[in-house]
Structure 1
Amino acid sequence: MDYFSHFKIWVLTLSLIFQSVYGFYLPGSYPHKYNVGEALSVKVNSITSIDTEMPFSYYSLPFCQPQDGVKDSAENLGELLMGDRIENSPYRFKMHVNESEIFLCRTEPLSADNYKLLKKRIDEMYQVNLILDNLPAIRYTRKESYLLRWTGYPVGIKVQDTYYVFNHLKFTVLVHKYEEANVARVMGTGDAAEVIPTIGNEGSDIPGYMVVGFEVVPCNFMHNVQSVKNSKMYDKYPSPIKCDPTTVAMPIKENEPIVFTYEVTFEESDIKWPSRWDAYLKMEGSKVHWFSIMNSLMVITFLAGIVLVIFLRTVRRDLTRYEELDKEAQAQMNEELSGWKLVVGDVFRAPTNASLLCVMVGDGVQILGMAVVTILFAALGFMSPASRGTLITGMLIFYMILGIAAGYVAVRLWRTIGCGDHKRWISVSWRAACFFPGIAFFILTILNFLLWGSHSTGAIPFSLFVILILLWFCISVPLTLIGGLWGKGTPY
């Protein structure tokens, strides 16, 4: 049997193994099959703004709440540190069932505080972020001949000192038919996936769909407040609703309620499930500025070339000069050395703050290693946007684990410099473990106290940061000391 046949057998075997565990998808998410009429849960994230960079809870504003109450979704450490607060929403969809003019709720009359808060959030350009099947809601706007993409939609808009809240949402859910063969190609490897048998897929004849897009169009509609006074959530709105995003009709007023409605339309799309994030990667804020990157690289290369030329010319001139001198002339100049030979004394002279140098080098290696490993894992797809918070969580985990490298490098450099007292390696390890986190703790503590003073929920990020510091102390410090002990035992 030739090598190619052996290779095909190995590929088929590995494919069958992956199929036996229902496959493996690298970015951290997997296709979900929804049958026709099955309920889809829409979630809400924190409202955000590019103006203030301060996230707030969606339900901090007078919006409609779910019938069964507000419930937090499971979050990881990265989501909490980034300010994400994912909760359930009152919006209710059914797969491939179009619905229009759905009454959501009629809020209580706006108090003076809620009225001022709404106007403030509109002035600060806050955006509402909705999530369906892990996909953020995307909004399209046209500027001249360009089609712009945005995540979320504005809370409202201000027109000539009058404030309007977007009280009607037009949703469009893009779906793709669920096919076992397509899912196998996503999960499997190449041609071998086509021959993988279907295992444990009862009811596969029932038509199902995957969510591949989630779009929203916000509108302001003139609702009849009195006509829905006795309506219940999800009842039919008594009159037709025309969603026109270019016009506003119903301003918010103090001591008056707000009526919220929505509609949803399902459209079959040719977008494949692995490509459903492509629209988000094409947004204006997500574009990679290659021209700026290339420009910076060219400037750095040019400056590095200038420094290298100056350095080579200086060294070559000094070496040529010393070669021309005979032994007698060199003997006469032993007491008056200059030029390149003076560098020898500077290179092997111990620095004034040797311990600080060792600590900074050790922490630099730790941070550089964290960056390299994080970028590598992100490039391989383990930290995709489909898994929120994994990037920050991964950075923290890698930073704590690489405390071993920080302790080793710091103590090893301390022994190499030869500062006399080699017994201070424990002190160097402690400083390496506390130097950078101490600076971060000092700065972030001040910021958290300022946040606590300006906003009542500031206690949440402050308590979270205290927990994070305790976690760092219990993991990073012992690992750094272990690395220092390893560096101490290395011969020099």
Structure 2
Amino acid sequence: MPGICSVFLLVVLFAHSCHGFYLPGSYMHTYSTSDTIVAKVNSLTSIETELPFSYYSLPYCKPLGGIKKSAENLGELLMGDQIDNSPYRFKMNVNESLYVCTTSPLNEHEVKLLKQRTRDLYQVNMILDNLPVMRIAKQNGVSIQWTGFPVGFTPPNSNDDYIINHLKFKVLVHEYEGSGVQIIGTGEEGMGVISEADKKKASGYEIVGFEVTPCSVKYDPEVMTKLHMYESISPVNCPLELDKSQIIRERERISFTYEVEFVKSDIRWPSRWDAYLKMEGARVHWFSILNSLMVITFLAGIVFVIFLRTVRRDLTRYEELDKEAQAQMNEELSGWKLVVGDVFREPDCAKLLCVMIGDGVQITGMAAVTIVFAAFGFIKSTGAIPISLYFVLLSLWFCISVPLTLVGGFLGTRAEAIQYPVRTNQIPREIPARKYPSWLLVLGAGTLPFGTLFIELFFILSSIWLGRFYYVFGFLLIVLLLLIIVCAEVSVVLTYMHLCVEDWRWWWKAFFASGSVALYVFLYSINYLVFDLQSLSGPVSAILYLGYSMIMAIAIMLSTGTIGFITSFYFVHYLFSSVKID
């Protein structure tokens, strides 16, 4: 008893000395009144073309010190993000209206570019303290939220286009007083612990919201050009009349202005993403999971019957016979036991199958690790692709992937070969004719894994192509686990069915029984293109979409096919290792 008390006392003392820490993302920034905060701009994006463009590809105002790119991670670069500084700067808790700049007269190329970006529904994406700007509008009494704001707008039944040149920002701030909590930050500056000297700075204001109301305002360029950047102007009321809005046409000089209002909020820093990540679709995700559980239960019942009723019963009867009766029964056997001499015969294109299984293992492992890290919050979301990125990818390939592949091949050649439990006959057994092709059953099996993931697939496609946030990585992790179970069960059942009809060519069928889900994923992607991406315009955008969808489908095929094949292989190995053959 004294020993237990001592241990308990040590635990209490250790807990008292512990510090809380925040690991995912970047650590919390606090600002004092009048501290300068600079907004950043990301690539221009559109749901019509899916082709990102640099913010400064349009005739926008540039910062005084020049354009400076932010450090970006590999994922941002691959997604086409391009984060730069901007001329929009704010002073904490200082409400003001400021002038930015006036462009030179627009030439033909600039007018064409602005009109094209406006009609393609391009959005300007701004970031303040790692929060994307949000635009809130009301339609039929319902508040609708978007990230970003449009380059411009085209009134109905009009050939004229108008540019957004005045921005009304609202920054939500929460007053924070340091609590002595130790913080580990993993932001752009790298990982580190906030020092004692910085603890005094912990108190202040934290940014918990960033909203914008975009306007188009026609200014007198002669008056505006007399102003200097960041000179104060009168607050602007967004005009509703088109004659007071800034039209896009040649020889026009466009003045850019903005105003900012700081509003105190009860939202705390850990909850500031809730406005972006509202879980309105949680019920749909739970429906998907329950649907998958029903499929798993059904398939598990079939596998249970196979093992405990059919296989166990047959093996028991088979092993209880004496040698003479067993020899006589071998002539009368039917079903999977007849292919005992062919079941481990090398399949066609065996090397290709090995390569696909190896790729599938890598893809599955990578996906699992990524989703687990995302589900637990260890992934930071930090933009046209620079040429240096390709050298980074090549370095990753030649310095990591290729060496690991060679090491794996070396270890594989030195490892002992898998010993099959039965001998393979020299002459292949003839496979009985069937009324219908076995591939129909294999292709039909892919519907069960697809039923597990198609709801999550909709949200993922919406995140990639419609710019919506995907945040339910916990659901995605559950769906991944369910998908693995369904793929394993489907392949085992299909493999057993083929063996029962004396079809010993199960290798490729086991792979495609679960891998055929990729066909339905690709067909669903086409359905999504036709019915949900109706705004997507132009053959280039469609080809880009279909190309990415094909790559995704192939990756899913390799991953799910590998899961099904490995499970089926060990099932067949276990099944025939229980059979005694002289």
Give the TM-score taking structure 1 as reference length.
0.72
Please say which of residues 60-69 and 349-358 is displaced more in the overlay.
Answer: 349-358
Summarize deviations over 1:154-195 as a string: whole Å, max 9, x none: 1111113321111110001111113112x628779xxxxxxx
CA pair 71-484 structure 1, distance change in 2 beyond 3 A: same
- The 2-side partners of 1:246 and 1:304 are apart by 64
2:51 matched residue in structure 1:
54
Q: What are the within-5 Å matches in structure 2 for residues 368-383 of structure 1? A: 368-383=364-379
* Deviation of 1:143 (Å): 2.6
2:33 matched residue in structure 1:
36
- The 2-side partners of 1:203 and 1:7 are apart by 30
Summarize deviations over 1:400-434 as a string: whole Å, max 9, x none: xxxxxxxxxxxxxxxxxxxxxxxxxxxxxxxxxxx
**Contact (CA 8 Å) 1:281, 1:287: kept in 2 or not?**
no
CA pair 273-185 structure 1, distance change in 2 beyond 3 A: farther
**Contact (CA 8 Å) 1:318, 1:339: kept in 2 or not?**
no
- The 2-side partners of 1:9 and 1:488 are apart by 53
**Contact (CA 8 Å) 1:48, 1:126: kept in 2 or not?**
yes
2:512 matched residue in structure 1:
none
Summarize deviations over 1:263-307 as a string: whole Å, max 9, x none: 0001111111111111111288x8784156237515743773586
2:393 matched residue in structure 1:
468
Query: Which amino acid in the other structure matches residue 367 of structure 1?
Result: I
CA pair 79-187 structure 1, distance change in 2 beyond 3 A: closer
**Contact (CA 8 Å) 2:96, 2:232: kept in 1 or not?**
no
Please say which of residues 26-35 and 480-489 is displaced more in the overlay.
Answer: 480-489
The runs of 5 or more residues in structure 1 that have no matched partner are: 16-22, 189-197, 390-456
2:440 matched residue in structure 1:
none
2:555 matched residue in structure 1:
none
* Deviation of 1:354 (Å): 2.6
Whether 1:6 and 2:10 are equivalent positions in the alignment is yes
Matched residue of 1:253: which SS? coil
- The 2-side partners of 1:319 and 1:244 are apart by 84
Query: Which amino acid in the other structure matches residue 98 of structure 1?
Result: N
- The 2-side partners of 1:84 and 1:375 are apart by 21
Q: What are the within-5 Å matches in structure 2 for residues 222-233 of structure 1? A: 222-233=218-229
- The 1-side partners of 2:136 and 2:240 are apart by 11
1:407 matched residue in structure 2:
none
Q: What are the within-5 Å matches in structure 2 for residues 275-294 of structure 1? A: 275-282=271-278, 289-290=284-285, 293-294=288-289
Summarize deviations over 1:452-480 as a string: whole Å, max 9, x none: xxxxx7xx555532541243112211112
Summarize deviations over 1:73-104 as a string: whole Å, max 9, x none: 1222222111111111011211110002x111
Aligned residue among 237, 240, 245 for 1:242: 237
Query: Which amino acid in the other structure matches residue 125 of structure 2?
Result: N
2:174 matched residue in structure 1:
176
Runs of 4+ displaced beyond 6 Å:
185-188, 245-248, 316-329
Whether 1:152 and 2:118 are equivalent positions in the alignment is no
2:553 matched residue in structure 1:
none
Q: What are the within-5 Å matches in structure 2 for residues 105-184 of structure 1? A: 105-159=101-155, 160-161=157-158, 162-181=160-179, 184=181
- The 2-side partners of 1:246 and 1:176 are apart by 37
Matched residue of 1:34: which SS? coil
**Contact (CA 8 Å) 1:217, 1:245: kept in 2 or not?**
no
How many positions carry a matched residue from both structures? Answer: 400
Query: Which amino acid in the other structure matches residue 259 of structure 2?
Result: E
2:546 matched residue in structure 1:
none
- The 2-side partners of 1:207 and 1:217 are apart by 30
CA pair 246-351 structure 1, distance change in 2 beyond 3 A: farther
1:194 matched residue in structure 2:
none
- The 1-side partners of 2:161 and 2:298 are apart by 53
* Deviation of 1:367 (Å): 1.3
CA pair 109-489 structure 1, distance change in 2 beyond 3 A: same
Aligned residue among 288, 299, 308 for 1:304: 299
Matched residue of 2:17: which SS? helix
CA pair 3-11 structure 1, distance change in 2 beyond 3 A: same
CA pair 89-301 structure 1, distance change in 2 beyond 3 A: same
2:494 matched residue in structure 1:
none
**Contact (CA 8 Å) 2:235, 2:259: kept in 1 or not?**
no
- The 2-side partners of 1:178 and 1:264 are apart by 21
CA pair 203-356 structure 1, distance change in 2 beyond 3 A: closer
Matched residue of 2:340: which SS? helix
**Contact (CA 8 Å) 2:21, 2:182: kept in 1 or not?**
no
1:339 matched residue in structure 2:
335
CA pair 384-227 structure 1, distance change in 2 beyond 3 A: same
The runs of 5 or more residues in structure 2 that have no matched partner are: 186-194, 418-582
- The 2-side partners of 1:288 and 1:57 are apart by 38
* Deviation of 1:125 (Å): 1.1
Summarize deviations over 1:281-338 as a string: whole Å, max 9, x none: 1288x87841562375157437735864885677589669969999767544545643
2:402 matched residue in structure 1:
477
* Deviation of 1:123 (Å): 1.5
* Deviation of 1:35 (Å): 1.4
* Deviation of 1:224 (Å): 2.4
Matched residue of 1:90: which SS? strand
**Contact (CA 8 Å) 1:170, 1:243: kept in 2 or not?**
no
- The 1-side partners of 2:86 and 2:108 are apart by 25
- The 2-side partners of 1:462 and 1:209 are apart by 39
- The 1-side partners of 2:240 and 2:78 are apart by 34
Query: Which amino acid in the other structure matches residue 272 of structure 1?
Result: R
CA pair 207-322 structure 1, distance change in 2 beyond 3 A: closer
**Contact (CA 8 Å) 1:172, 1:214: kept in 2 or not?**
yes
CA pair 125-214 structure 1, distance change in 2 beyond 3 A: same
Whether 1:88 and 2:85 are equivalent positions in the alignment is yes
1:212 matched residue in structure 2:
208
CA pair 236-13 structure 1, distance change in 2 beyond 3 A: closer
CA pair 7-326 structure 1, distance change in 2 beyond 3 A: closer
Matched residue of 2:407: which SS? helix
**Contact (CA 8 Å) 2:27, 2:183: kept in 1 or not?**
no
